[in-house]
Amino acid sequence: MHPMVKPALRRAWRSLRCVQFGVTPAHAVVLDPVGPETEAVLGLLDGTRGVELLRAEARALGLPDGRLEALLGRLESAGLLTDAATGRPGRAGPAAGTAGAALDPLRADLASLSVVHPAPEGASGVLAARRALRVQVRGAGWTTDR
């Protein structure tokens, strides 16, 4: 797993111990209390690191053992985490921050759908359903110049 805070949710610090994810009332989530070292750790949750690497980097930042798992659990239970390694239906998922992720044309759609459909595979399921849809065009369309 490569945990990533849902990129469609902006992060705003309300105080030194309180952070809000998202702006709209329908999707905003407040996480309180958080420690002062949490800000640096939240910056690491961009989908480019696995849990083991996150654990090592959090330890280097001074986060006590077990605190990273507790933070990840709180973020996951609040519906704020997604797994960057899963990608989208029909494709292997490049980790966020890699060239493959930056060039993925559906990356923004997946990010916004992950907010509207917070289930773990909700956004991917919606993209899969869209991919299965077909449109049939009949006729020649406009045949004269206007």
Q: For residue range 19-68, what is the model confidence (pLDDT) as tens digits?
A: 999 888 888 899 888 887 888 888 899 888 899 999 999 999 888 888 89
Do 80 and 6 touch, CB atoms closer than 8 A? yes
In this structure, is residue 12 part of a structural domain? yes
Collapsing DSSP states into helix, strand and coil, what is residue 78? coil
In this structure, is residue 116 part of a structural domain? yes
Domain harbouring 84, CATH code: 3.90.930.60
Question: In this predicted structure, which of 3-7, 25-29, 78-82, 105-109 has the lowest mean pLDDT?
Answer: 105-109
In this structure, is residue 81 part of a structural domain? yes
Residue 103 has pLDDT above 50, yes or no: no
In this structure, is residue 140 part of a structural domain? no
In this structure, is residue 96 part of a structural domain? yes
Domain that residue 73 falls in: 3-132
pLDDT of residue 99: 47
In this structure, is residue 139 part of a structural domain? no
Give how many domains the chain has, as a whole number: 1
Q: pLDDT tens digits, residue range 115-142?
A: 777 776 777 788 888 888 888 877 776 7
H or E segment and range at residue 83: strand 81-83
In this structure, is residue 143 part of a structural domain? no
Backbone angles phi, psi at 55, to 5 degrees: -60, -45
DSSP character at residue 88: S
Residue 97 has pLDDT above 60, yes or no: no
In this structure, is residue 144 part of a structural domain? no
Residue 84 one-letter amino acid: A
